[in-house]
Amino acid sequence: MSNTLPALPYPYDALEPYISQQIMTLHHTKHHQTYVNALNTAEEKYAQAATPKERIALQAALKFNGGGHINHSLFWKNLAPAHAKGGSGGVLKDGPLKAAIDKDFGGLDNLKKEFNAATLGIQGSGWGWLVRHAPHSSPAYILMTTALCRVSTRPPSASRSSPPRTRTRSSRTSPSSASTSGSTRSTCSI
């Protein structure tokens, strides 16, 4: 089965003035398409590989290009035209998500800061996701990246002006060697 470039759920100019039509077209039709093409090539080579050594040698290409394809496919679905253009983008409405972000991260601005810090050095320009934890867990949302998990550890009684403490665990470390700053209310399984 061959991977294909998914269609965008909006026109290339729908995100202007924040992202130009030219950048959207280039990013989707060239950059994302390159991941798709390279993933298909790696999968074809993997299917033809005769030895475990040959298959192992292809793992990095499969992970990198497969991740690039999946990440971009999610990325396009998570963008939306601005509210001013009749879309739903750029507005965090009152509701459970906003309440959880306020509780777990101290507000949207703090979430953005933590998100940027967590993704800054990741290969592929810093892919990360805000992930829903198990229902009724605390924190409700965690930041996940391809390399680490960052959990907000703001105590429930902390004021919104106090900076959140975080626990960061690299996928390369064991739970006992994870670096911590402050105490955590949750652990992160990688």
User: What CATH number is given to the structural domain containing 63?
Assistant: 1.10.287.990
The burial of 24, by beta-carbon neighbours within 10 Å (0-12 exposed, 13-18 middle, 19 or more buried), is given as buried
Domain edge (last residue) among 85, 109, 132: 85
Residues spanned by the domain of 173: 96-180
**What mean pLDDT is predicted for residues 160-186?**
35
Residue 2 within any structural domain of the chain: no
- pLDDT grade for 123, boundaries at 50, 70 and 90: low
Q: Write out the DSSP string of 12-80.
A: TTTTTTTS-HHHHHHIIIIIIHHHHHHHHHHHHHHHH--SHHHHHHTHHHHHHHHHHHHHHHHHHHT--
- pLDDT grade for 58, boundaries at 50, 70 and 90: very high
Count CA atoms within 13 Å of residue 105 on its CB side. 22
Residue 186 within any structural domain of the chain: no
Residue 64 within any structural domain of the chain: yes
Residue 135 within any structural domain of the chain: yes
pLDDT for residue 62 = 95
Question: Mean pLDDT score of the chain, rounded to an integer?
Answer: 77
pLDDT for residue 65 = 93
